[in-house]
Structures are given as structure tokens and as C-alpha cells.
């Protein structure tokens, strides 16, 4: 997934508006279960 | 703002199959497929089978050859999400902030793993398997001869147990069921799966549930069950189901079905006439089941993607494919099933499960509901037609 700070992950306990840096390390991706550390920054043009 | 004739949302097999069918049917408009995955659309089944065991290369999992997209003038946007869909304006907003106008759209956003919330879920060594990246993470985390705990009694847990046992790991399956896969295929098939896997060193802890994970130094060491068992585990793979990803559809105010999937009619059209749905996210009014269903099988996703393409181009047929599913238990056996997946009230066994060649016909109220076969392609060949026939006989108006 692409984590969107505006949306957060309410089902995973992450309120909308939470920057990625502020997500706890224990969080896992709602789509595939990957850990926070497995995410890569999205480079925008 | 640029404009796309056919916008396919979701980078799995349903979206890829839709793109391929659109071109095969002669669609000459512009097509774009937008998917959040890092890779072009790929087959998910190898994630628990050959790819997990390191026997299948990443490129070999691709649904379409790498050159297909350019050759067929289909724009492929990987690592990109559609974050908003304005159906009144027919405009999609991408994660790149670009806005794209579209004529028709396919929602094939797939499913999301069911995450466990038990204590200790944050420990290192706990995995899910849905994407190639998950399989990569499991392989990176494995060391020779590890004790692996599989949480769940369905096909993900059984396939991963078989794959990792074949690689020499000591696997234990913890499940609520009495027998593996019995919820889908009943006790006879479940007993056969247990015997097969037990014979290859897999241990089953049945009719019990995960209470919590325990660890040391941040790393998983044990799982504690509801019955008080303390199971040693160096690594765990959780396979406890998935839920439809209808986030975008819900936000776009499309109708959502009772299962949480994107509601679609028998022809896979959603509550918006120019938006179709397919695959794991789609809850459609099935003429074979005679009720709305959502099915998470690769073959269903593929054929639904193709069906949606024909719908997008003006066909008005109902989707009436008998669902097909297969399960590879390492290279020891392949279980195949074609059917409606209902709760059967009668089983007809053909052959001896211990021989590794048998079939089970599932009946409900005297009507054929499904056929499961191991090593019996002859039985399965005619089962699809029998099922469609049986379903139509029960509802003569269904087409």
C-alpha cells in the first residue's frame, strides 16, 4: 500500500493525520501485513 | 487534465486480465492500469508455493510478459494508488496528485490480510503472506531448521507449512478447526490433508486458538494458546483470512455489500453504471449461487476481469463461471476444487484417499454443490459443466 498520512489507518489504530514517522514500529500494513520498516519513501516528481 | 477511456484500478490479476481482454475484444481507446504494488501484476499463488521455496523466479510470476503493456499501448502505473474517485465528474485522483478523467472504470482493489491484535504481535519473526514482498521477508528471516508456527487451518497455513517443511523446517499448525481445510472441504478431505502433512513431519495443534505471542529481546520465541499450551516458535506465519479492500469504493459512495465488498450486479456492474468490479473486492449477485457472494480465488479474479472487460464494451451477460480453486501441498499433492463453496449436507467419495487419487462430490439438498479431486483430472473436467447445469436446473431463468 501507499500510506497516506491524511487517511491514516483507523482500523490499525492510526488516526487520520498521523505522519508516517509517528506510526509506532509495531504497526503493520493493512493490505499485506508488512512491517513499518519494510516501507520505502515515495519519491514524488 | 488528461483523459483515459478505461481506467483499471488495482494491480492484480483481475485488472491485468481486464486490460488483456479489452484489447483482445478490439477496444481501441486508451487504457491505464493503476496499482499500488511494486511489481507489474503477478500471480499470488506462488507466494505460498514455488516462489516461497525459491523455485520460481520473480519474473516468472508475472501475469503478462514485460513487453505486453507497451506492445498493446496500455499504460501501467505501478506503485501508484487511486486515492479518490469523483464519480460525478468522472475524475480519479492518483497518489502522485495527478487528476485523470475517465470514461469507464474497473475496481479491482483486492483484499487485505486480517491482522491479529493479540499481545506480542509486534515481535520480530511474525509474518503474513499475501504479496511477493511478504514471501521475500519470510525467506530473509528463515535460518536452517527453524521451528515455524502456522496460525490458521486453511489453505494459506497448509500451503506454507508444506513449503517450509519441504525446506527442512519444523512446522506446527495451530488451528481452531479439528482438521485442516475442513471448513471448505469437510472432514474426509481434512483428514487426508492432515495425514499427508503429518507424514512429512508437520504437527497439528487442533481445536485451540492463539492467545498471545511471547518473545525475548524483541524476537518471537513462543506462542501461548487458549488451552494453555506454550508452543516454541522461531518464526510464525499468520493466515487467518482476508477482508475486501473497498476503501476507495466506500469513499466514492458506491454501494457496499454485506461481506464488505464492492456491491455489483450479476454482470459485475457496480451501483454506478460505468464502474465495474472484479476479483477479491467484488461482491456480485451470482446467478449460480443465487445470492451475492465474494470469492477470493485467482481463477475467479481472472475470469471476472475478463467478464468486466466485455461488460465495459457493452455486453450484458451475467457472470456464470463455476469457481475453480487449487491448492498445492509442496510437490506432494495438488487438491483441486470446482464448486459453489457452500455447506454440503452429503458427500460422495470416489476412490481411496490413502491412495492419493480420489474425488469427493458435495451435495446440498440433493443438488451438486462442488467437486474436489486429488489426482483425478478426469473427474474435474466434467464437473464445471455439471455444476452450471445443476444451478440452472434449480433456477431455469438464470442465464
pLDDT tens sequence across B183-231: 999 999 999 999 999 999 999 999 999 999 999 999 999 999 999 999 9
pLDDT digits (tens, 9 = 90+) for B3-52: 999 999 999 999 999 999 999 999 999 999 999 998 999 999 999 999 99
CB of B388 within 8 Å of any CB in chain A? no
CB of A31 within 8 Å of any CB in chain B? yes
* Record: contact A2-B128, CB cut-off 8 A: no
d(CA B320, CA B337): 16
Q: Which chain A residues are closer than 8 Å to B84 by Cβ?
A: none
Mean residue pLDDT of chain B comes to: 94
Q: Which chain A residues are closer than 8 Å to B140 by Cβ?
A: none
B324, B338 in Cβ contact below 8 A?
Answer: yes
Kindly state the average pLDDT of the residues B152-181.
Answer: 97
* Record: contact A45-B36, CB cut-off 8 A: no
Residue B72, helix vs strand vs coil: coil
d(CA B145, CA B38): 31
CB of A19 within 8 Å of any CB in chain B? no
Q: Which chain A residues are closer than 8 Å to B128 by Cβ?
A: 28, 32-34
Q: Which chain B residues are closer than 8 Å to A1 by Cβ?
A: 36, 81
B193, B181 in Cβ contact below 8 A?
Answer: yes
**Which ipTM did the prediction report?**
0.78
- The answer to whether residue B65 scores a pLDDT higher than 90 is yes
d(CA B366, CA B303): 28
- The answer to whether residue A45 scores a pLDDT higher than 50 is no
pLDDT digits (tens, 9 = 90+) for B317-374: 999 999 999 999 999 999 999 998 877 899 999 999 999 999 999 998 888 889 999 9
Kindly state the average pLDDT of the residues A22-29.
Answer: 88
- The answer to whether residue A33 scores a pLDDT higher than 50 is yes
Kindly state the average pLDDT of the residues B249-261.
Answer: 97
d(CA B224, CA B119): 10
* Record: contact B79-A2, CB cut-off 8 A: yes
pLDDT digits (tens, 9 = 90+) for B276-298: 999 999 999 999 998 999 999 99
B339, B299 in Cβ contact below 8 A?
Answer: no
* Record: contact B115-A44, CB cut-off 8 A: no
B181, B190 in Cβ contact below 8 A?
Answer: yes
Q: Please, which pLDDT band fits residue B245 given cuts at 50, 70 and 90?
A: very high
Residue B205: the pLDDT is 98
Share above pLDDT 70 across residues of chain B, in percent, rounded to a whole number = 98
CB of B114 within 8 Å of any CB in chain A? no
* Record: contact B81-A1, CB cut-off 8 A: yes
Amino acid at each position: 500500500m501507499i500510506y497516506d498520512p491524511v487517511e491514516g489507518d483507523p482500523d490499525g489504530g492510526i488516526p487520520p493525520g498521523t505522519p508516517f514517522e509517528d506510526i509506532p514500529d509495531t504497526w503493520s500494513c493493512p493490505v499485506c501485513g508488512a512491517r513499518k520498516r519494510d516501507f520505502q519513501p515515495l519519491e514524488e516528481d | 487534465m488528461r483523459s483515459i477511456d478505461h481506467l483499471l484500478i488495482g494491480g492484480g490479476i483481475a485488472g491485468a486480465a481486464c486490460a488483456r481482454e479489452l484489447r483482445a475484444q478490439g477496444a481501441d481507446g486508451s487504457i491505464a492500469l493503476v496499482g499500488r504494488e511494486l511489481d507489474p501484476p503477478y500471480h499470488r499463488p506462488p507466494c505460498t508455493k514455488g516462489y516461497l521455496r525459491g523455485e520460481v523466479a520473480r519474473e516468472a510470476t508475472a501475469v503478462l510478459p514485460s513487453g505486453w503493456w507497451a506492445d498493446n499501448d496500455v499504460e501501467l502505473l505501478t506503485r501508484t494508488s487511486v486515492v479518490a474517485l469523483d464519480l460525478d465528474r468522472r475524475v480519479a485522483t492518483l497518489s502522485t496528485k495527478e487528476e485523470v478523467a475517465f470514461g469507464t472504470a474497473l475496481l479491482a482493489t483486492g483484499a487485505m490480510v486480517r491482522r491479529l491484535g493479540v499481545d506480542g504481535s509486534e515481535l520480530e519473526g511474525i509474518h503474513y503472506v499475501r504479496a511477493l514482498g511478504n514471501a521475500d521477508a519470510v525467506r530473509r528471516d528463515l535460518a536452517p531448521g527453524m521451528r515455524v508456527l502456522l496460525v490458521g487451518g486453511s489453505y494459506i497455513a497448509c500451503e506454507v507449512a508444506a513449503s517450509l517443511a519441504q525446506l527442512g523446517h519444523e512446522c506446527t499448525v495451530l488451528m481452531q478447526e479439528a482438521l485442516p481445510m475442513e471448513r471448505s472441504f469437510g472432514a474426509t478431505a481434512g483428514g487426508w490433508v492432515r495425514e499427508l502433512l503429518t507424514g512429512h513431519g508437520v504437527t497439528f495443534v487442533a481445536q485451540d486458538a492463539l492467545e498471545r505471542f511471547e518473545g525475548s529481546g524483541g524476537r518471537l520465541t513462543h506462542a501461548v494458546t487458549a488451552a494453555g499450551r506454550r508452543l516454541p516458535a522461531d518464526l510464525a506465519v499468520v493466515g487467518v483470512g482476508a477482508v475486501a479492500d473497498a476503501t476507495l469504493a466506500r469513499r466514492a459512495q458506491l454501494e457496499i455489500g454485506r461481506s464488505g465488498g464492492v456491491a455489483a450486479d450479476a454482470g459485475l456492474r457496480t451501483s454506478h453504471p460505468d464502474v465495474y468490479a472484479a476479483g477479491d473486492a467484488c461482491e456480485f449477485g451470482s446467478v449460480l449461487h443465487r445470492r451475492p457472494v465474494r470469492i477470493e480465488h485467482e481463477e475467479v479474479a481472472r475470469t471476472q476481469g475478463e467478464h468486466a472487460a466485455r461488460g465495459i464494451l457493452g455486453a450484458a451477460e451475467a457472470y456464470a463461471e463455476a469457481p475453480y480453486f487449487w491448492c498445492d501441498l509442496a510437490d506432494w499433492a495438488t487438491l483441486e476444487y470446482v464448486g459453489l463453496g457452500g455447506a454440503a449436507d452429503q458427500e460422495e467419495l470416489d476412490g481411496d484417499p490413502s491412495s492419493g487419487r480420489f474425488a469427493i462430490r458435495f451435495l446440498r439438498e440433493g443438488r451438486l454443490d462442488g467437486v474436489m479431486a486429488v489426482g483425478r483430472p478426469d473427474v474435474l473436467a466434467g464437473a464445471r459443466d455439471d455444476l452450471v447445469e445443476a444451478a440452472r436446473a434449480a433456477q431455469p431463468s438464470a442465464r
